[in-house]
Amino acid sequence: MTASRTLALTEKLISLSSITPDDKGCQQHLIDLLTPLGFVCETIISNGVTNLWARRGTTSPVFVFAGHTDVVPTGPVEQWRSLPFIPTLRDGKLYGRGAADMKTSIAAMVVACEEFIAATPDHSGSIAFLITSDEEGPAVDGTVVVCEQLKARGEQIDYCLVGEPTSSAELGDMIKNGRRGSLSGRLTVKGVQGHIAYPQLAKNPIHLAAQAIADLVAERWDDGNEYYLPTSWQMSNINAGTGANNVIPGEMVIDFNFRFSTASTDEGLRARVHAILDQYDFPYDLQWTLSGQAFLTPRGSLSDALSDAIIEETGITTELSTTGGTSDGRFIAQICPQVIEFGPPNASIHKIDEHIELRHIDPLKNIYRRTLEHLLPA
């Protein structure tokens, strides 16, 4: 296979305007390519979300390529230099929505499998694909649904490589071996509204909660660990008052978020927040939303195989990192002991004129193929 094969498949996928949760036929195109390679393909529909589970082989270890065919909305089309769903080559780059996040990765995975299977038809273990159209959206009917079904069926996954765009300045300079958890809270502090000239007849919720807020800001939630910085607590919104400068507000609402490491648990963080608030005598209501658990894959056979593949292909010694937002790796980590994310540079993701440099496309495919060669030899 040549670089043009991966490029052509990437262009085909970009041309399918698969804005969350509409897959637009991307996964059917993948099925058409994977079936002749010996993959048994299963489409799993959940509330309008299209998911694909495809597996070649019945033995262990099971190596899974994971990713998403959905993309974020384009934003103002008139601000793009070329139409976002017409793949365009310009100045050594491929432009289009999904070029970096993550249709190039999916194309590279498929072509890597084509090359690997052609060269090693009797490879050990099994290869699988877990693809969703709900990663950029609510993520409640996508990867998590497939993982639940696999768990219920007793299907074991040993390695999972997620094609998220993790590289920074150069292809291969960073891979993700974990992600922080995300826990949000909405704190409503109850007061008594009144005229600001008669404070004795009112209770100002801002004043009532001021010291508790200061305590939350000052709290050190954990010290992190070898792979994670300490857990972060940040307020994103504070709302109180009627807009008038002579009215004491009746309540205050604070939105906040934890990005937490594996040194903490969401249950422990919730308990500590309540303990701080309960030190002070004011009524409040606190609603929690857990967006994702933290997960971590310590250095092991998968990260070693991928790191070796990167240095063989690019000469770059990669960095293991847990920075960034959440990904579907958080769901896969519940059923797979080794989950690593790796893909192209991420500087243009979700932006106007999203793109990937052409010089990265073939090496990305080669890194994926080399990783298979390391882990599933004949």
Residue 135 tokens read as 């990663």
Active-site residues, by number, are: 70, 135
Distance between CA atoms of 223 and 225, rounded to whole angstroms?
6
* CA separation, residue 137 to residues 19, 29, 107 (Å): 9, 22, 21
Distance between CA atoms of 334 and 293, rounded to whole angstroms?
10
Residue type, 246: N
For 226-259, what is the HEC assignment? CCCCCCEEEEEEEEECCCCCCEECCEEEEEEEEE
Distance between CA atoms of 132 and 138, rounded to whole angstroms?
12
Distance between CA atoms of 29 and 33, rounded to whole angstroms?
7
Helix intervals (H) in the chain: 3-15, 26-34, 104-119, 143-153, 205-218, 266-277, 301-314, 329-332, 358-375
Distance between CA atoms of 303 and 160, rounded to whole angstroms?
10
CB within 8 A of 304, min separation 6: which ones?
none
Cα distance from N-terminal residue to C-terminal residue, the chain? 20
Half-sphere exposure of 309 (CA within 13 A, CB side): 26
Distance between CA atoms of 185 and 286, rounded to whole angstroms?
7
Which strand ranges, in their side-by-side order, compose the sheet holding 232-240? 232-240, 251-260, 181-190, 284-292
3-state DSSP call for residue 66?
A: strand
